[in-house]
Amino acid sequence: MFQVRIHGRGGQGVVTGAEMMSIAAFLGGRHAQAFPSFGSERTGAPVVAFCRMDDKEIRLREPIMQPDAIIIQDPTLLHQVDVFSGLKKDGYILINTTRSFAELGLGEFVKDFKPERLLTVPASELAMSHVGRAVPNVPLLAAFAALCGLISLEAVHSAIDQKFKGAVALGNKAAAVQAYNTVMKNNAEETLHA
């Protein structure tokens, strides 16, 4: 079973992102579940959503305490909430930011993690340029697909079609393609330099 915890703020599409991840996993032939955990439900309040994926039926229903991957939609949460609680040392970390882990003050924290499992993506900027709103969930979902390889870009596009229509769906697909391709290009360049 692969477990993902998504941290963000109300209004950033955290819950929708988890739902689309589970749809994409299901379309890829896996069992999946997604569910949120709310504090206060107002815009800007911290929100956590969870997604589980497995090749067999998932019977667990409790929150994810030891995730395999963490997605952080709002980097201001890094120093306000223990977003890394329970993360396995071979886990994945994906953060919506233009800054590096060192610039975020996380260089020492991530030094024991596998560098190929650490990623920052300017998801809000990608969403703004393609959708007109700085909602980072779809670009982060596509970046997650490229980073982990557990879901395909095609499945992400199908999940987008199930959640959005018209220009919003097209914009989200364009943002997803750009995020996915950016990660894949960076991975290829790192492999060349290794």
Here the CATH number for the domain that contains residue 90 is: 3.40.920.10
pTM for this model (two decimals) = 0.93
What is the rounded distance in angstroms from the CA atom of residue 75 to the CA atom of residue 104?
8
Confirm if 40 and 60 have CB atoms less than 8 A apart. no
For the segment 152-175, what is each residue's pLDDT rounded down to a tens digit? 999 999 999 999 999 999 999 999
For the segment 80-138, what is each residue's pLDDT rounded down to a tens digit? 889 999 998 899 999 999 999 999 999 999 999 999 999 999 999 999 999 999 999 99
**Overall domain count for the chain:** 1
Could you give phi then psi for residue 189, rounded to 5 degrees?
-65, -40
Whole domain around residue 35: which residue ranges? Answer: 2-193
